[in-house]
């Protein structure tokens, strides 16, 4: 029996999944919640100890006999977060998260220091956007000098969890490519960007060595093994950001594969053997955590949009879906801009949620409910358009994340994007992807062979696009884009 464990530390919770590779089934799946520190200036932070407490809580929920059978561990975590660590491994300040927009000024400062957006793009093949790690480092330097002066290690959340498990500082290209100080084409840290962050000290020395995809970053220490109840010395894979893990967990490891993840944020990503660069900034030119590239669109608002509307009216998920089903495509002209957390694509860090298009006949709760569902898909349709412009033409879409549980949301996605859609049988795609990376690391198989063997789909949840609905969604999407353009000057 080969049991591998996948840890996924997301924004709202940590999940641990144990997968029996011989029987091809999940034998344990548990979670523990996180709190979040939020402020009106756009601050979104968590304490790093909360990650470790949640991991300990998760493993404590798993049968001790099963824990002792685990042969390898993989770690997935939310991207872009900045864990500042001192010389003794101590965390120096709260972890700024991917959804933190308090660093927009630092983005402007860095872009100016580097000579403008075109030069930034030439250095890292990406833009410096709010939410990325680089402006967070500069924010610490400008606003918490005491902590910055003690800074010895710049880690991402998954790097920090790997350090907890192994005692080794490490990084890997997939998650690193979302820092804005990583040269994606050359797959090395960008010394130019690091110098723009601090021209008085070499920040290169604070960054961990890169581990190749498919290799172990280290082995579980005696201390971590005792705390978690797992075997000492088992391998820990290189790990990855949650989007890269979701790519593994949905089989997005071959050219042309496309996955859309509908969690707190919304992401759309596809596998490529070469970089896919978008100078318009819609797609991030990320590396995959399987040895290739993963061009990716990330919006900062997806299920948070429906959660906000549910909270406003006091509905549960079932009730919101029932109401949305009563509204027609396009919501009779009611349009939502789901920029509740600000937004990254389009680059509107000061964005706000908007409901527009009301008149005395269409101001109905069912139209608002459906507008919440449709708006999150329209936000990602722009990414699909970008994929097409850059020569990446998918034929099929895999949908994952919390939004994939909703039948009406699945149908809206398939019809609005005009793609056939599948949903993986194992819904916790990031935790499962982390487990599959651990399996890959602990075997002689390629990641393509691992994915083909273990990623399966739920036939009952698949969708085919309806041609008769195409025109209705095209008109609604055009109206949505018109409102985005109209509101952009207010949100920059």
Active-site residues, by number, are: 242
**By the 8 A CB rule, do 342 and 300 touch?**
yes
* Distance, CA of 52 to CA of 45 (rounded, Å): 15
Nearest to 260 by CA among 158, 372, 131, 396: 396
3-state secondary structure of 348: strand
* Distance, CA of 435 to CA of 488 (rounded, Å): 41
Integer-rounded Cα Rg, in Å, for the chain is 22
Backbone angles phi, psi at 25, to 5 degrees: -150, 155
Q: Name the burial class of residue 445, with classes exposed (0-12), middle (13-18) and buried (19+) by CB atoms within 10 angstroms of its CB.
A: middle
Q: Which residues contact 226 (CB under 8 A, 6 or more apart)?
A: 232
* Distance, CA of 299 to CA of 454 (rounded, Å): 29
CA 392 from chain centre, in angstroms, equals 21
* Distance, CA of 131 to CA of 119 (rounded, Å): 20
Q: What is the DSSP string of 193-226?
A: HHHHH-SSS-GGGGSPPBPPTTSEEEE--HHHHH
* Distance, CA of 262 to CA of 249 (rounded, Å): 14
**By the 8 A CB rule, do 425 and 456 touch?**
yes
Q: What is the DSSP string of 267-279?
A: EEEE-BSS----T
The residue count for the chain: 492
């Amino acid at each position: 029996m080969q049991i591998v464990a996948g840890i996924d530390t997301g924004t709202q919770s940590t999940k641990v999944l144990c997968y029996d590779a011989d029987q091809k089934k999940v034998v344990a799946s548990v979670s523990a919640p996180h709190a979040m520190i939020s402020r009106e200036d756009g601050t979104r932070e968590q304490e790093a100890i909360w990650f470790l407490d949640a991991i300990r809580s998760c493993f404590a929920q798993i049968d001790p006999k099963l824990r002792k059978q685990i042969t390898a561990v993989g770690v997935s975590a939310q991207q872009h977060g900045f864990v500042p660590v001192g010389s003794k491994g101590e965390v120096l300040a709260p972890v700024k998260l991917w959804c933190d927009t308090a660093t927009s000024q630092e983005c402007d400062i860095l872009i100016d220091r580097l000579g403008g957006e075109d030069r930034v793009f030439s250095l890292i093949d990406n833009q410096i956007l709010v939410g990325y790690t680089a402006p967070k480092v500069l924010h610490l330097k400008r606003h918490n000098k005491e902590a910055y002066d003690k800074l010895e290690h710049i880690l991402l959340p998954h790097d920090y969890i790997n350090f907890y498990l192994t005692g080794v500082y490490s990084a890997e290209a997939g998650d690193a490519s979302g820092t804005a100080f990583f040269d994606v084409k050359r797959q090395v840290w960008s010394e130019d960007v690091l110098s723009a962050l601090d021209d008085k000290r070499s920040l290169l020395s604070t960054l961990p060595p890169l581990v190749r995809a498919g290799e172990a970053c280290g082995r579980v220490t005696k201390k971590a093994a005792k705390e978690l109840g797992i075997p000492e010395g088992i391998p820990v894979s290189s790990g990855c950001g949650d989007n890269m893990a979701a790519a593994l967990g949905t089989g997005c490891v071959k050219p042309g594969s496309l996955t859309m993840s509908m969690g707190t944020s919304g992401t759309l990503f596809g596998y490529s053997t070469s970089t896919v660069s978008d100078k318009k900034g819609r797609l991030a030119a990320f590396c995959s955590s399987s040895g290739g590239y993963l061009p990716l669109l990330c919006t900062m608002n997806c299920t948070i949009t429906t959660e906000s509307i549910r909270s406003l009216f006091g509905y549960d998920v079932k009730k919101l879906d029932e109401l949305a089903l009563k509204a027609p495509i396009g919501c009779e002209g009611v349009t939502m801009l789901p920029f509740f957390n600000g937004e990254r694509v389009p680059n509107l860090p000061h964005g706000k949620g908007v409901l527009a298009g009301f008149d005395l006949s269409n101001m109905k709760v069912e139209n608002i409910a459906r507008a919440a569902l449709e708006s999150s898909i329209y936000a990602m349709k722009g990414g699909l358009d970008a994929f097409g412009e850059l020569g990446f033409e998918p034929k099929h879409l895999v949908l994952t994340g919390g939004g994939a549980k909703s039948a009406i949301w699945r149908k809206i996605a398939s019809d609005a994007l005009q793609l056939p859609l599948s949903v993986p049988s194992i819904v916790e795609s990031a935790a499962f992807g982390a487990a599959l990376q651990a399996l890959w690391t602990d075997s002689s198989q390629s990641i393509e062979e691992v994915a083909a063997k273990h990623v399966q789909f739920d036939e009952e949840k698949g969708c085919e696009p309806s041609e008769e609905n195409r025109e209705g969604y095209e008109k609604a999407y055009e109206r949505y884009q018109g409102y985005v353009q109209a509101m952009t000057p207010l949100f920059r």
